[in-house]
Amino acid sequence: MGKFIGNSGVVTRVGLDLGKNAFQVHAVGAKGEVVVARKLARGRLVAFFARLPPCLVAMEACGSAHHWGRQLAALGHEVRLIPPAHVKPYVRRNKSDAADAAAICEAAGRPGQRFVPLRSIDNQAALMRHRARELLAGQRTALLNALRGHMAEIGLIAPQGAQHAYELKRLAADGFDENGEIVVPDCVRAALSRLVAHIDALDEAILAIDQELAASVKADATAKRLTTIPGVGPVAASAIVATIQDMSAFASGRDFAAFLGLTPRQSSTGGKPRLGRITKMGDRYLRKLLVVGACAVLGRRKGHKDALRVWASALLDRKTVKYKFKLTAVALANKLARVVYVLMTRGGEYDGRPVAA
């Protein structure tokens, strides 16, 4: 698979530990002997691999991994990205860049190893749009909570919920209530004016991203079909399509739900199965979107007789625990993940007809 590097020997597999300015290379031959083990500066990385005949190059799926993967793939190398959790067991003794590179090289040669597909720049841009929206939404929540605290100092409080927080924002901006009575002094309004303006700016930025996501869903046939599933809107549909490039990599819908961390944690021994809470592994952003969508479905399930909502309603009625709504929402999110798998692998749309039909 590889040829000679000078007089060092034949290289068949390379483990590359990424860094900001320094990179560690660990190359082995066909029999597993170490051929190259050295540190490279950032400016010399591409030149080094350009001189190296095509071989297998493995890296951890971390920051900048897809960028360097595209660079090395353009040179003719076979690039494989490994989840960092799958590399850690192969690190010997103390951690160092050299030990990490050797562990990456070792993990890449193990049978049954799982790899992360290399992403294109367009695909990464789509995911960046979601990450930017998530960051802006978190900042907006922080500002609304800060506004709640400041308004409580002058005796104005509001129930939980974003709509009530926005009523406080209106009071901070206008200063008077629905009866025309001034409830916020001018000095307080002046002090909080910048918070109000920042919240308005964040609302505009998030709305612009939502419109871009909605437009991308309309242009994508798969994402458009996913929006027919209850609880899966344009944001969730575009995030799923952008994150999961090849759904056939999962053997079943349960495997996809397990990838999202929506299946029970297992601690079985002696032939006795023991199941606990969900694992919360995998992509937490997709898991959150599905759980939030499931909560919306449960909250608006009345009047709908399709199979998914009938099943969720029956499960909610059977539960007697204190947090039965959240428990049912997670179970419904698991169902949604399985439906997403079916639609992305077999085609079609969600059948929302009543069960009786």
Instruction: Tell the residue number behind the tokens 């350009």, with chain if given.
Output: 50
- How many domains does the structure of the chain reveal? 3
CA distances (Å), origin 320, targets 47, 163, 178, 324, 348: 64, 30, 42, 7, 36
Query: If 0-12 CB within 10 Å is exposed, 13-18 middle and 19+ buried, where does residue 302 land?
Result: exposed
Mean pLDDT of 268-288: 89
Query: If 0-12 CB within 10 Å is exposed, 13-18 middle and 19+ buried, where does residue 157 land?
Result: exposed
Q: Does residue 251 share a domain with residue 237?
A: yes
For residue 357, tell me if it sits in a domain.
no
Distance, CA of 284 to chain centre: 5
Q: Does residue 21 share a domain with residue 104?
A: yes
Whether residue 1 has pLDDT greater than 60: no
Mean pLDDT of 201-227: 97
Whether residue 8 has pLDDT greater than 90: no
Q: Does residue 342 share a domain with residue 248?
A: yes
Task: Quote the percentage of the chain above a pLDDT of 90.
Answer: 79
The answer to whether residues 239 and 285 touch, using CB atoms and an 8 Å cutoff, is yes
Q: Does residue 134 share a domain with residue 79?
A: no
Q: Does residue 226 share a domain with residue 341?
A: yes
For residue 4, tell me if it sits in a domain.
no
For residue 319, tell me if it sits in a domain.
yes
Structural domain harbouring 43: 13-108
Whether residue 76 has pLDDT greater than 60: yes
Tens digits of per-residue pLDDT, 314-328? 999 998 888 899 999
For residue 352, tell me if it sits in a domain.
no
